[in-house]
Structures are given as C-alpha cells and as structure tokens.
Structure 1
C-alpha cells in the first residue's frame, strides 16, 4: 500500500513538473498571444493544485490527515513562484524525508476486544507515584510511554484520564490506540452501571428508591466530571444527571446529599442562581458552611463579584480543605 502511494505521488509530481515546464515553454515562445497566455496560466494552475495535493503527503507523512491550511500553503508557494516554487519543493523532498521524525513502533499489539475485560486493580496501589508515572510518559522511549499508559489502570480515574487524553496525540499508533481503548473501557463501565441501575429502578413498583436515583446521577456526574464526555455530549450527560436528581428530590426534598449534588450539577451547567439556592438549601439542611465556601466563591466569580470572592477565599483553611486549589486560594488571599 505504501509502495503504491509513493508510485502515485511520483507520477503526479512528474505530471506537475511536465505541465509547469510546458507552460513555461509556451510563454517563452516568440509569437506570444492571449490564447497561449491563458493556456499557460491554466497549466500552471493545474500544476499548483497537483502540488498542493501531493506535497503534504510526502513532506508530512506522519500526519493522519493533512490540514487544509497545509494544502493552501503549498498551493500559494507553487502558484506565486512559477516553476521555481515547484522545482524548489521537489529538490527539498530528499532533505525533508531524511530529517523527518521516523514513525515509532513498539512490539506491543493492542487487542481492543480484550481491553474492556481487563481486571480492575485497586486504585490505591500507586497513587503516591503519580508524578513519576507522568514523568515516565514524557520519555522519548515509546516502550516506557506504553508502560505508563498501562500503569494508568492502577491509579484513580481523575489522575488517569488526563494522562490518557494526552496519549491520544502520541506519535505511536499502539499507544494512541491503547489510550483510546482504556478511555472507552472506563466510559463503558460507567455506562453499564447506569444501564443496570435503570433496569433495577424500572422493576420497583413505586420507583421511590433514593439510593438508585443517587447512583444513576452519580454515574452521569462521573462521566462529565472526569472528562469522559466533551462538548454537547457532556451537556447531555449533565442534564441526565439533573433529571435523576430532580426525580429523587421529588420524593426526598429534604435529603441534604441530593440537594448538594443537584447544586454541583447546576453549577457545571452554568445555572448559577439555582445552584446558589440549592447550596443554601443544603446548608440549611445541615451541611457544614466551610465545605461550601469554594462553591460560593466560584458563583461569586461568575457573577463578577470579585470582592466577595476574596472574602470567601479568606475563610478557607488551606491546604487542608482543598489541597488541589492551594495556589488559587493563596492568589485570592493575597489580593488587595
């Protein structure tokens, strides 16, 4: 297949050079007429289009799909530099190929059908070594990067998923494929839990099972919060979480856990007014005020109430309360 592609590109390149040279010869003809000029320009235009199609695949062969901008760039170079542009790019091909990064290969073959059936490993196993795992992935050695991706099975999802998303743009096909398969495995596992919970809910006569409503909402929330869904799919998942929390609150309006979770989902959806109301309701039902400070601060920030953000941040006991937000808390506490 690769040999066929090289052969096709070579034929097209020779054709482009032939059209360019022939058009140039027509212009040099002593009896230059308008018709000859138009013919020469047309041949040059066709040669430029051919060059724009083949040069990205020759010079950027490691790309899955050449971007339109790259095609336009080569077209402009060849079109606005008649003959010189095409000849110059052709002469540059051996140099570009010699110095382009070779596509890396590993001895590992990903079996997509088996990824979902991999056994679950306790997340606590290497939590302390997450930083070293991240460093391992930055290695130039593809086998080490592959080990880092496999080791993500042993860390918590909130740590593993950013690493796997980073690996989706890895130059090695096997690593990209494994990262995609592991992300798919995580999403599939949560989706299966949602499916089973919904089936259980349907079997209950009056459907007043608070635990199941919370479980389904939790799983939808996890899909969105961990970054397993993006864009419109993420909004859909959050709205589904919202739906099941609202069903739970219909039967258990005074449940502090449901109120708190409802507020978090509303906050993610950008419904700041209703989110604030639900956080306040959770507080009135017994949730500790200190646990809600960071959420009140976020809502105040979105409302552009920066003075209030500073006041709320000043009340937060860091790093004990929010170790991951220590730098953010320090920033607001130091502001005048």
Structure 2
C-alpha cells in the first residue's frame, strides 16, 4: 500500500517538474523547480521500487537504492520509464522456473559389495588397487577390502596382498585375516579329503586323489603358497594327480596334470599330459593357450602365433586373448 502512494507521488512530482518548464518563468527559477521536483520524484520512485524488491536485491545498502535513483534522476523521463518497465514486469510476471536437466550430487562412497561381474570382463581390479594405493582415508581402504569378498579368489588375492603393506594397522590386519580365511578353507578341505582317502577304494579313491590335487593346485594357483611351501604344495599336487591317473581318473585330470607340470618347469611332461588330455576328449580350444605358454617358456616364439591362429576368431576378439592376438598375430 505504501508503494502505491510512493509511485503516485512520484508521478505527480514528475508531471510538476515538466509543468515548471512550460510555465513562463525565468530560466534560473524554472531549472531549480524542475530539478527539485524531478529529484523528489526520483526519491519517491526509488523508495517504492526498493520496497517491492526481493530481499536479495535490496542489499547492500546504500548501493542498491542509489543505483535505482541514478537511473531515474540522471536520465529524465526515460530513466523513470526504464525503471518501471524493468521492475514491474519482473515483479508481477515472473519467469516460470525451468525443470532442471541434471542434479548435482556428491561423489558416492565405495559400495560395500562390488557390482555384478560379467563372465566376459572388460575391466579388472585396478580400481580397488588404486584405492588402496592412493586413498588418504583408512576407512575407504577398509571398504575396498570388503568389496573383494564377492570377487573371484584369483582377482581378490592380489588386492589383499597389496593391503598387507598398508601403513594402517586396521587395513593390514583385515587383509591378513581375509587371506588366512581363504587359505584355512582350502586346508580344511584338504584335511577332509585326506581322511576320506584312507577309507576310499577303486574309482572313489581316484576321485579323492583328483580332488586333493585340485586343492593343492589351488593353493599354488592363487598365490597363497610361496617359497619352499609352494614347492611342497606342487609336489603334493603332482603325486596326487599321478595317483588319480593311475587309478583311471577322468579326462579333466590330464589337463590338471599338465598345468602342474608346467608350474614345476617340466615342459616335456606337461606337453605329454596335454596330448593325453586331447586324446581323452578335452576340447582343443582349451589346450591351445597352454601349448602356446609352453612354447613361450621354451623360447620358441614363432610357434606361439601358430598356436593362437588355431583359436576361433570369436575367442581372439575377447579378453584376455585380444591383447595376445594384437601382439603375436
């Protein structure tokens, strides 16, 4: 209500200022009357507009009202009209707020459980390893270790071993306990199989020997055994796999025997086991990568490409064979 009286007064004083110029008065008197009336009109207009402005536009004082007064006072007629044309439409006809095209969000914490992993992975565990190497917060590094619980053991164990060198005690102890649990589970299964071996006979005994060979091989394959322990584990795996083959174990044991022989460095025996696996009915596509690995260990690099060319084109386009194909083919 006050603003309406202020605007009305501003209009009256503005009209009076122009009427002073039309009256037959001396130039000095007309100029003084015009400036006084126009100044009062600008003050009233400034006060009325300032009262209607949103709070964020009213301050800081005195610059906000001084800006409006300057526009009205120093630009006669057009200044007052410009102020009215700029302010009133904005106050009474505000622009409708547009819908946000995107929402700003903070960086989410590392999930407690990893995302579902496809069988044909395009990425590996480098992200979690980067967290362990570079995250300054120890709690984030602990969360990264928890995220490995749903990962395959072959992928999670290198991450846990990296965490054993962490400066924080909580991270090191958690990594050690998780590694110890995985090793303990395998050793528990070995003990159960050894107990079954004493009572087994015939084909069942061959299956138990094969099971023991696989669990010993698992300790070596996952990197849970090192040094002299690794040598002992591999020897145990070889003894049990040979016993399983002597008792007539299935065709898959030939492939396991070949992989154990490769790890022990007996490449000729490994190649012989792979040939026996092929005769027993193992798919050649499963054997070719191991044969290429044998050729690499022998230094026969020309034969590696020959082995890889026998793989189907579809396999050569998927990891991990895609990188091998780009290099060797």
Band of TM-score, shorter chain: 0.5 to 0.7
**5+ long unaligned stretches in structure 1:** 1-122
Alignment partners' CA distance in 2, 1:150 and 1:244: 35
Q: Give the TM-score taking structure 1 as reference length.
A: 0.58
Note if 1:236 corresponds to 2:226: no
Note if 1:148 corresponds to 2:138: no
| C-alpha distance 319-140 of structure 1, shift in aligned 2 (>3 A) | farther
| Partner secondary structure for residue 202 of structure 1 | helix
Please point out which of 245, 248, 252 is paired with 1:249: 245
Larger radius of gyration: 2
Aligned to 2:292: 297
CA contact (8 A) 2:255 2:274 kept: yes
**5+ long unaligned stretches in structure 2:** 1-112, 119-123
Note if 1:278 corresponds to 2:236: no
Alignment partners' CA distance in 2, 1:133 and 1:127: 14
The offset of 1:126, in angstroms, is 4.3
Aligned to 2:190: 194
Q: Give the TM-score taking structure 2 as reference length.
A: 0.59
Root-mean-square deviation (CA), in Å?
Answer: 2.3
Alignment partners' CA distance in 2, 1:133 and 1:126: 15
Number of residue pairs the alignment of both structures matches: 210
| Partner secondary structure for residue 224 of structure 1 | helix
CA contact (8 A) 1:293 1:313 kept: yes
| Partner secondary structure for residue 308 of structure 1 | helix
1:148-175 CA-to-partner distances (Å, cap 9, x unmatched) read: 1122212111111010011111111111
1:243-298 CA-to-partner distances (Å, cap 9, x unmatched) read: 11111111106x31111111111011110000000100111111121211111111
CA contact (8 A) 2:128 2:159 kept: no
Aligned to 1:182: 178
| C-alpha distance 182-319 of structure 1, shift in aligned 2 (>3 A) | farther
CA contact (8 A) 2:220 2:233 kept: yes
Alignment partners' CA distance in 2, 1:316 and 1:225: 24
Note if 1:264 corresponds to 2:259: yes
Alignment partners' CA distance in 2, 1:178 and 1:319: 41
